[in-house]
Structure 1
């Protein structure tokens, strides 16, 4: 009897170890994070927008997807859309959670950014309900030299909301939003804040995407991702940064090069642990600055996994990991 009890305990222990390992090593693309009370919520690319929760940023629990069914408007943008939603962004403003997300045809700028709202992120709360607000901005081939994916919203010092977004083509765009955070303000104010194509420093590559603006140290830091994602072992993804005193730029890298002319200081790239890393978000939680991104794990044949790193700042207030 003692043998069977011991064996049973060993099986349970092994199960818990495997479960913990999987929880800490969740498979994600394009993570964004926010904290409600004592729980962190992570949203990322996936069917209906994949969602996880955690109390320590290490052990993650799977939560219900944001959309059980695809938003009704998506079919008009991408025919036969299968509810695989890209690159969300989450912000809390005026007691409402705004979750922005991307709908796109792969490899085309047939794309749109939508937004959905909620008053809580806790699925057990009686008030939990995602209410879709529809399209914020849309791009179309043969009309636009920009791509409406990879949204990120920041509120500036004047309480004005700005949406940055973009991928390849003519680079990263910034546009002013209305106070409702659901639509572009008029008269429309557009800016190109980073690009690589046809620039002196880009070496012919147009691969730039995934903007994220993080305000710190009196600067707006613009993070972008360069080169190839989503290729497993062949991924060459990396994170570059520049900064500006003004949200609309100009953004410059550590050497003084303009991001709008191909500049950018690399802060994260592939190494012996990851073939490539990128599509980051940045936050301050409990006084600590973090960079969240996905990496193509070299030990798991290029599986995309969550990476969380503390941001350090040098004497000139440039970030490093």
Structure 2
């Protein structure tokens, strides 16, 4: 079992290289006072995070399998995390793409079960990848695979990965897509299959992947990622957002231009320490009503893998804002009455 803490992160980061790809000096590491945290909150690779607050009061976080079989981490305060296992084992691992990786999980609580949607793909296999679903009684598993919902060549959407589940007016929907358009489709009542006769609907253009829909006030907000995720220090991933008064759009930027034409607002971009800032989690709220978002990035101190970052989301004039539109290096921590 692996425990992460502020001290451990400091030791790991201090021992890593202190120059970036261009040999520019990076900012020094400073110890954090009590009640604060610093990024990365987990300093090893946990791409494409998804998070849920479970019935036991813990937050559970799942990620793309740089740790084989979909790693699971647990926390009470969003800052200190422990690795508690994996969603699957070698024996229970999904098999509909035999040589595929398990990417971009999406965790939900549906009808008294923990339901984990996942993507399965071989890198570059844009017509053979697809989306599946697994269920468990507890957030730590064991998860039982229910098989695929669809493959790209079955639903006629190239690169069918990066799914997100949402409920609206008693109906269940799945959003998904990766640089070939973002789409939505209705699911069955149990969320484990496509509703019979349902038709897919395109909701955004070809600049995006990693879709997440969040309702705040009178609007729906579509979060997504643009750019390259996985080129180390050269990664250009950036988290963007648009909003709509309807779940299915049109999603617009502040100037009223549509995400169907690849227009958006930048939420989180690079800075002198982190690049490739993308594929955000669900927004979670602390006990003081503050909103927080997780995402991955490449740490230029050690540009191997995609580490886990967290930032405070503020709402200004009905738009989400992260201070400076870049990752914080150190900031006030979430507040929980433990």
Specify the alignment match of 1:95 in structure 2.
Answer: 112
Distance 1:112 1:277 in 2: 24
User: Which of these residues, 179, 182, 193, is aligned with residue 172 of structure 1?
Assistant: 182
Matching of residues 102-141 of structure 1 within 5 Å: 102-109=119-126, 110-122=128-140, 128-140=141-153
Specify the alignment match of 1:149 in structure 2.
Answer: 161
Higher RCO (Cα < 8 Å, 6 or more apart): 2
> Which sections of structure 2, spanning at least 5 residues, go unmatched?
13-40, 323-338
Matching of residues 56-67 of structure 1 within 5 Å: 56-67=77-88
Q: RMSD of the TM alignment (CA)?
A: 2.2
Q: Does the CA-based 8 Å contact 1:115-1:136 persist in structure 2?
A: yes
Matching of residues 157-236 of structure 1 within 5 Å: 158-169=169-180, 171-196=181-206, 207-236=207-236
Q: Does the CA-based 8 Å contact 1:223-1:239 persist in structure 2?
A: yes
Secondary structure at 1:260's aligned position in 2?
helix
TM-aligned CA distance change 1:70 to 1:208, over 3 Å: farther
The alignment of Structure 1 onto Structure 2 pairs a total of residues equal to 284
User: Which of these residues, 28, 40, 44, is aligned with residue 63 of structure 2?
Assistant: 44
Secondary structure at 2:301's aligned position in 1?
helix
TM-aligned CA distance change 1:256 to 1:301, over 3 Å: same
TM-aligned CA distance change 1:236 to 1:181, over 3 Å: same
Measured after TM superposition, the shift of residue 282 of structure 1 is: 2.6
User: Which of these residues, 10, 33, 36, is aligned with residue 51 of structure 2?
Assistant: 33
Q: Does the CA-based 8 Å contact 2:87-2:142 persist in structure 1?
A: no
Q: After the TM superposition, which of the residue ranges 61-70 and 270-279 deviates more from structure 2? A: 61-70
Q: Which deviations, in whole Å up to 9, do the C-alpha atoms of 1:11-61 show, x marking residues without a partner?
A: xxxx99337866743421000111123211110001211111111111111
Distance 1:314 1:150 in 2: 28
TM-aligned CA distance change 1:133 to 1:192, over 3 Å: same
Distance 1:55 1:20 in 2: 20
Q: Does the CA-based 8 Å contact 1:280-1:294 persist in structure 2?
A: yes
Measured after TM superposition, the shift of residue 168 of structure 1 is: 1.6
Distance 1:183 1:216 in 2: 28
Distance 1:69 1:228 in 2: 30
- Please identify which structure carries the higher helix content: 1
Q: Does the CA-based 8 Å contact 2:106-2:164 persist in structure 1?
A: yes
Q: Does 1:69 align with 2:105?
A: no
Q: Which deviations, in whole Å up to 9, do the C-alpha atoms of 1:141-172 show, x marking residues without a partner?
A: 9x83432211100111x121110111122x11
**Length-normalised TM-score, structure 1:** 0.82
Distance 2:108 2:45 in 1: 23
Q: Does the CA-based 8 Å contact 1:275-1:302 persist in structure 2?
A: no
User: Which of these residues, 272, 288, 291, is aligned with residue 289 of structure 1?
Assistant: 291
Specify the alignment match of 1:3 in structure 2.
Answer: none
The structure that has the greater radius of gyration is 1
Distance 1:70 1:188 in 2: 33
TM-aligned CA distance change 1:24 to 1:86, over 3 Å: closer
